[in-house]
Structure 1
C-alpha cells in the first residue's frame, strides 16, 4: 500500500429521533428530558405478558423522509429483534428492521451538486440512558428514552473527508426539521451520528478494515472526529501496523478519540424476525397521501428565492436554513412594495443577529411582516436616520413587539428634523466651539469634514437628515473657507 496515495472512505449511520407524541411500540410519551423514569410503562420495561403495538406516526415520518430523499418505499415491512445485553436495554433486544427496511436507495445532495447515496433507512426503537456521574459506586438507569422511535439512515461509503461529513449532517438536519420528522436538536440526542471510516489507495474500489466512531452529537464534532481518525489510521500504517476493526468514542471535553471495544459484526446480534409484530403493508394511495402533505423542501425554497426573486445563492442558503425563516422571508417579499434587496439585507444583516439566541432551537421571530415593513418604510421615507433606526428604534421594537413602529418613532421622538434654520444653528455652534479644527480644515485638512458631520448628528441626536446635514455643512464650510 502506497501510504502517500491514500484516501479516506466514509459511511455514516445517522440516528434520528422521530417527533411523535408516544413511543415506537408503547403508549407513554416519547420524552426523555424530564424527571428520570417518568415516561415508562409495562411495555417499555418489557414486563412479562406485554406486547408491542406499532406507532402509525412512526411509519408516516419514515415514509416522509424516504420520499424527500428519493428513496424507494418498501410496500411490505417486517420487524426484527437485534439481540444484545446492555443494562439500559430493558428487553435484552431492540426492535428494529434488518432484512426489510422501509426505505431503500435515494441520495442527499451536497454543494457542487455532489450526491451522497443512501443505502437504506429503517425504523427502530431507542435504548434507555446509563448515568455514571451521579452515584460514585453505581450506574443509574433512566428508561424515559427506552422505546423512543428512531429512524436510522445508512449511507453508502461515498463521503471523502470531514468537511463533507459536516455538510451532510447539517443538510440532513435541516431537511428533517423542514418536513417535521424531528426537531434535530443534536445536543439533546435528537440526531446522532456514527462514522465508519477506512483508508485505501486512490483509484481502488476495495473496502479495507473500518473503524466506527459512535454517537457524535454535532456536525462540527463529526468533522473533528473524522480528521483525527484519518490521522490515527495513517500513523498506525506508517509504523507498519494493521488497522483492527474497532469501535471508538469521541470525547467532547478532550476532543480526543479513544478505543472502547472491538467492533461487532452483524451476525453477533443474532437477528431474527420479531414474532410479536405483524407485517405492515403500505399501498400507493397511502404513500401518495403522505407525499401531498409534505410541503416544500429546502431545495424548492432555494430555487424560488434564486430563480423567481433573483436572490444570490449565498443569501438564499442563509434564508433556507429553516422552514420558518423561508416562509417568513417569502411572506415579507409578497406583502410589500419594498425592494427585495432591502428586505433580504435587513433580515440577514440586522434582524437575524438580533433575534438568534445561539441555541439549537427552532427560530422564532417576534416581529410580524407588517411591523418589519413599517420599520423599513420609515427608513426609505427618510423619516428616521439609518443609524437611529438600528440603534434606537429596532431594539425598542423588539422589546415592545406589539407596538406599531410608526407610533413608536413618535413616542421615542426619533423623527428626522428637516428644519434648515435649526440645522444651521447647530453647525455654526459646532464650528464656533472648534476654532482650531476649523482653521486646520481651511488650511487643507478636508478629512475633518467627517468629524464635523459626526458632531452635527450627535448634537441633533440623530434626528437630522444626513443628506441635508451634509449639504448645509458643506455650504457653511465652503463659505467660511472663502
Structure 2
C-alpha cells in the first residue's frame, strides 16, 4: 500500500475585541438578545454607507508585526458577493487583491518534536456574517444578525501543516498570541476563534499537491482533530480504490465523527470580487507602525525561551508564558529570587492556584526572604510550600517571623537532634538491624520517625547524617 503524506492549510478567523463593529457603530459584544446590536448599516439598507474602524486596522497591523509579516502601507477593501440569509447586504466586505499583511510565520512546539514555524500567506481584514439558527423539530430557520459586521482578521497559512497535532499547536499558539496582544479573547466556544481546514493527501515524495477539501467553521480543536483524521482516511481510501478526490466544501458531524459534502468548492471568480466603491484605501504610516511595534514588547515564544534560559523546565516555562500578565508578574519576582527554578515550582504549584493570576500580596522581596529560609535550611521545602507560603499569601508578613510563630523553624542543635535520633534507633531494633544488614532504604523510615518526634523541626541534612552515624557505629 502506498504511504501518503497529509497536507493541511488553515484559514483562521479571529473576531477582534473592538467596541464597535467593522464598518458601523453597532456595539460589538457577545451574548446579547438576538438582533439587539443591529442598525441600518449592518442590515444593508439602501443609501447607508460603511466607515472604517481604525482599531481594526491597528489590531491587524499589531498581529502582522508580531508574526513577522510585511505590512502593506496601502491596502484596499473588496466586495465578496454571495447570497445567504445571514448576510444582509448580499456581499461581504473583505480584502482580496491587497491584504494588509503578507507573509510571516507562527512558531509552534509539539512535545517530542523540534520546534518549527508555520508559514503564512497573508492576513486580511473583513467582517463576519450573522448566525443562522436551525432549531430541532422546526421546519424553518431563524437569523440572529448581532454578529453581522463583527470585525475579523483572517489568517491564511501556506499548505504547511502535516498533522492534526500541528493544527492543534497552531490554533493554540494563535489563541495565545491574540490574547497576549489583547486584540481578541480567542474564545473558540463563543466563535471568537475558528478555522476552516483545507486537507489533501499525496504519495510520500510527490511534490504536486493533491485535490483539497475544505472543512468549514471548526470551533473546537477536539472536533478538528476528529474531522482531520476522518477526512484523511476518506481521501486515502478513495485513491487506493482507484477513485479521485473531488474538490469540495464539507461539514463535520460530531455525532457520527464523519464529514459530508456541502457543495463543490468555489473558486475566486465565483464570488465576483470587485473593489468596494464606498471605502477608501487604508494607509498605514511609518509612525503608526513604529508606535504599534513599541506596544508589542516581548512575544510569547520569546518569553518561553527566556524562562528556559533562567533554568525552568519546559512545562513550567510553558504555563508561565501562556499569559502576558502572568509572565510579567513572574519576571518581577524572579528578579529578586535567589533560586528562579525553585521559585517557578512554588509559583506553579502554590501561587497560581491561590491567586488565579492576581498579583500576590506577598512582595518580591519577602518571597525572596522565604526562599532564603529554605536555602539556609531554616524551614524545610515541604513546610514552606504546604504551610508557610499559603499563610503568607493569605496574610502577608515577614517570612521569618511567621515561620517562628508557626513553629516551622528547623532545629540544628546537634545535642537536640542526637538525642531524638538515638531514641528512634533504640525504639526500632529490628529495623536498625535490617539497615545494618544492607537495607539502606530504611533511612527514610528513621527520618520520618525523627520528624514525628520533633514536630517537623529537625533539620534534614544534619539529622540524616546523625542517623547514619548512629546506625553504622552500632554495627
TM-score (norm 2): 0.86
Unaligned runs of 5+ in 1: none
Matches within 5 A, 1:332-351: 332-336=333-337, 338=338, 342-347=339-344, 349-351=345-347
Question: Could you list the per-position Cα deviations for residues 225-263 of structure 1 after superposition, in whole angstroms to 9, with x for gaps in the alignment?
Answer: 333321110011112222122223334565443444433
Deviations 1:166-187 (A, max 9, x none): 3322333333233333232333
1:182 aligned onto 2:177:
no
Q: Distance in 1 between matches of 2:421 and 2:385?
A: 25
Equivalent of residue 84 in structure 2, options 68, 86, 106: 86
Q: CA separation in 2, counterparts of 1:30 and 1:403?
A: 45
Give the drift of 1:164.
2.7
TM-superposed deviation, 1:63: 1.0
Correspondence for 2:94: 96
Q: 1:132 to 1:288 in 2, by over 3 A?
A: same
Contact 2:316 2:348 in 1 (8 A): no
Q: Specify the alignment match of 1:59 in structure 2.
A: 57
Q: What is the Cα deviation at residue 411 of structure 1?
A: 4.3
Range that drifts further, 454-463 or 309-318: 309-318
Q: Structure 2 vs 1, CA of residues 128 and 354 (structure 1 numbering), >3 Å: closer, same or farther?
A: farther
| Match in the other structure for 2:25 | 27
Asked if structure 2 preserves the Cα contact closer than 8 Å seen for 1:387 and 1:462, the reply is no
User: Which residue is equivalent to 2:299?
Assistant: 297
Q: Which moved more, 1:367-376 or 1:49-58?
A: 367-376
Is 1:381 the counterpart of 2:383? The answer is no
Instruction: Give 1:462's aligned residue.
Output: 456
CA distance in 2: counterparts of 1:136 and 1:458, whole angstroms: 69
Shift of 1:152: 0.1
Q: Which residue is equivalent to 1:160?
A: 162
CA shift, 1:442, in A, is 5.3
Q: Does 1:44 align with 2:42?
A: yes
Whether the aligned pair in 1 keeps the contact of 2:311 and 2:340 (CA below 8 Å) is no
The structure-2 alpha-carbon separation of the partners of 1:413 and 1:43, relative to structure 1 and needing over 3 Å to count, comes to farther
The 5 A counterparts of 1:8-407 are: 8-110=6-108, 112=114, 114-132=116-134, 139-219=141-221, 221-252=223-254, 255-302=257-304, 304-305=306-307, 309=310, 316=317, 319-336=320-337, 338=338, 342-347=339-344, 349-354=345-350, 363-364=357-358, 366=360, 369-398=364-393, 400=394, 402-407=396-401
Give the superposition deviation at 1:135: 7.5
Deviates more, 1:293-302 or 1:312-321: 312-321
Provide the secondary structure at the position in 1 that maps to 2:296.
Answer: coil
Structure 2: which 5+ residue stretches go unaligned? Answer: none
CA distance in 1, matches of 2:414, 2:117: 63
CA distances 1:379-403 after superposition (whole Å, capped 9, x unpaired): 11222111112222234445x1655
Structure 2 vs 1, CA of residues 369 and 93 (structure 1 numbering), >3 Å: closer, same or farther? farther
Aligned counterparts of 2:240 and 2:169: Cα–Cα separation in 1 = 30
CA contact under 8 A between 1:329 and 1:344: conserved in structure 2? no
- Change in Cα spacing, 1:246 to 1:387, as seen in structure 2 (3 Å) is same
**Once structures 1 and 2 are overlaid, which stretch shifts more, 469-478 or 73-82?**
469-478
**Alpha carbons of structure 1 residues 292 and 439: separation in structure 2 relative to 1, 3 Å:** closer
Give the alignment's Cα RMSD to 1 decimal: 3.2
Counterpart Cα distance in 1 of 2:426 and 2:18:
72
Q: Structure 1 pair 438/158, CA: closer, same or farther in 2 (3 Å)?
A: closer
TM-score by length of 1: 0.85
Whole-angstrom CA distance in 2 between matches of 1:43 and 1:354: 51
Q: Cα–Cα, structure 1 residues 304 and 418, in superposed 2: closer, same or farther, change >3 Å?
A: closer
Instruction: Say how many residue pairs are matched.
Output: 468
Q: CA deviation at 1:310?
A: 6.5
